Amino acid sequence: MKKYNVGLIGIGAVGTEMVKVLRQRNFPINELRVLARSERDEEIAGETLHVVKACPEALEGLDFAFFAGTEGAKGASQQLGWEAVKRGAIVIDNGDDFRMDPRVPLVIPEVNADALDNHIGFVANPNCSTIIALTALGPLHRAVGIRRFVAATYQAVSGSGNSAIAELEQQIQQYAAGDPITASAYPHQIAFNVLPQIGSEKPELPGFTSEEAKMLFETRKILGSDTIRATSTCVRVPVFNGHSEAIHMELESPLTPEGARLILEEAPGVQVVDNLEKGVYPLPLNTDGTDDIMVGRIRKDDLFDNGLALFVAGDNIRKGAALNAVQIAEELISRQAE
């Protein structure tokens, strides 16, 4: 089997998870080269790796370059993404700098792998909440068409990076000790609270945040439809890892909950967890470290014609970022072999 020189740019929560995923899936690596702001040795996912300073010259000889910045982080792919392409690498970018660039496919392999056919060396990972939603909604859209949907997201602090994880831990300890609770990663206390703002206000959608805008614009690009209407309220919750979303949709054609379950049970990357009577439904705690998106609470929604409602949960650092990026590379390798 051919082996590849792999570059990993960024070693935060997503970069660390990418190392785990690459090893667990036996990705055919000849060399794993880790790049960051400064040269040093780092223990990453249980192994000591030498980190080299990120610069254009450090990209030479790479076959794949994974940009693993935390969601919202700016700079690395803007600075070095197209430099890597110029040097012969295929870039897979977890950041949001190029998602809506018409040159760049925005890909969830289980949903729109065909978008890779026309790549020019640069592929973008969608936002974590978009991946978790559309892994489930994509099969329903293919089957009957989705006209519009409303989503409320419940997003874990890991989506903000390691500093936010540490802050939630610290605030829980402060609360238990009866100490004053301090906040720096977020503008308000996150422990025992919810924050109905993720990102800054989006000028194109007054009153909506950048995270909420991503759900609309990325959905349209991934599903290849400019007519789908989507709106969301994105909320940060005191969960360490695992995003959840309540989704209510209007379909183009009638579909019973039973029919939806059958479609989703056959869908790649989806696990149906749906028995309300027995208290069985998706829980973010149960998605931690898992590959699949869990779907449950599937039911008719009388608010819409042809209405359907469901609840999804997934590991936002794994499938919502690291795993999806590695799956894109695997799909590209598979297509090269055909």
Task: Identify the active-site residue in 50, 119, 243, 248.
Answer: 243
Q: What is the mean pLDDT of residues 93-117?
A: 96
Give the range among 63-72, 103-112, 169-178, 220-229 with minimum mean pLDDT. 63-72
Structure tokens, 148: 């519009």
Spans of all domains in the chain? 4-125+321-337, 130-316
Amino acid at 212: E
pLDDT at 71: 46
Per-residue pLDDT tens digits for 25-47: 999 999 999 999 889 999 987 88
- Residue whose tokens read 């600075």: 79
Query: Cβ of 166: how many Cβ atoms within 10 Å?
Result: 13
Q: How far apart (Å, rounded) are the C-alpha atoms in residues 56 and 58?
A: 5
Q: How far apart (Å, rounded) are the C-alpha atoms in residues 270 and 82?
A: 33
Per-residue pLDDT tens digits for 240-265: 999 999 999 999 999 999 999 999 99
Q: Residue 121: pLDDT band by 50, 70, 90 thresholds? A: very high
pLDDT at 337: 77
Q: What is the mean pLDDT of residues 317-321?
A: 97
Per-residue pLDDT tens digits for 206-234: 999 999 999 999 999 999 999 999 999 99
Sign of CA dihedral 240, 78, 329, 140: positive
Task: Identify the active-site residue in 128, 141, 188, 248.
Answer: 128
Told to judge if 128 belongs to the known catalytic residues of this protein, a careful annotator would answer: yes
Compute the mean pLDDT over every residue in the chain, rounded to the nearest whole number.
95
Q: Residue 74: pLDDT band by 50, 70, 90 thresholds? A: low
The answer, yes or no, to whether residue 70 has pLDDT greater than 70, is no
Per-residue pLDDT tens digits for 2-31: 999 999 999 889 999 999 999 999 999 999
CB under 8 A, 24+ apart: contacts of 201-205: none
The answer, yes or no, to whether residue 54 has pLDDT greater than 90, is yes
Q: How far apart (Å, rounded) are the C-alpha atoms in residues 281 and 265?
A: 14
Q: How far apart (Å, rounded) are the C-alpha atoms in residues 164 and 155?
A: 12
The answer, yes or no, to whether residue 101 has pLDDT greater than 50, is yes
Homologous superfamily, domain 130-316: Dihydrodipicolinate Reductase; domain 2 (3.30.360.10)
The answer, yes or no, to whether residue 72 has pLDDT greater than 70, is no
pLDDT at 179: 98
The answer, yes or no, to whether residue 318 has pLDDT greater than 90, is yes
Q: How far apart (Å, rounded) are the C-alpha atoms in residues 210 and 72?
A: 10
Structure tokens, 53: 């300073």
Per-residue pLDDT tens digits for 143-156: 999 999 999 999 99
Query: Cβ of 334: how many Cβ atoms within 10 Å?
Result: 12
Told to judge if 243 belongs to the known catalytic residues of this protein, a careful annotator would answer: yes
pLDDT at 103: 97
pTM: 0.96
317 burial (CB, 10 Å; 0-12 / 13-18 / 19+) is buried
The answer, yes or no, to whether residue 73 has pLDDT greater than 60, is no
> 4-125+321-337 in CATH: which number?
3.40.50.720
Q: What is the mean pLDDT of residues 261-278?
A: 98
